[in-house]
Amino acid sequence: MADETMEYEGLCEKGKVPDQDGGCVMPEVTFSAFVMSLNTSILFHLGEIADPETGTKMVNFELARHAIDTLVVIEQKTEGNLTGEEAELLKNILYDVKMRFVKAAKK
């Protein structure tokens, strides 16, 4: 993967990588981007984000719970190794998705 990242240097502005057509669209892979992608997955599985292809919203508590548990493991395993900003982002997202999960489960 490091070799692939090196290929992108100089092709796109910082924080983006090229897509299949050579356009610079994808965000750089960072810890924060990874956490945000799991957050998006949780919101999708809680039915808060519609499927981009069908426009339908689906609820799957098992997949939402799995993604939340994944964030909890990440929080535990990275304790003391994150920047203050990364730790705060993770803490805030975990709190938010747990509250959303409880609210959705009560419906």
Instruction: List 17's β-bridge partners, or say none.
Output: 26
Residue 32: per-residue pLDDT: 94
With a cut of 60, say whether residue 1 has pLDDT above it: no
Residue 8: per-residue pLDDT: 47
Instruction: List 22's β-bridge partners, or say none.
Output: none
Helix H or strand E encompassing 61: helix 61-77
Q: Which of the four pLDDT bands, split at 50, 70 and 90, describes residue 18?
A: confident
* 42-101 pLDDT, tens digit each: 999 999 999 988 999 999 999 999 999 999 999 999 999 999 999 999 999 999 999 999
96 vs 85: CA distance, rounded Å = 16
Helix H or strand E encompassing 17: strand 16-18
In angstroms, the Cα distances linking 32 to 22, 39, 55 are: 25, 10, 27
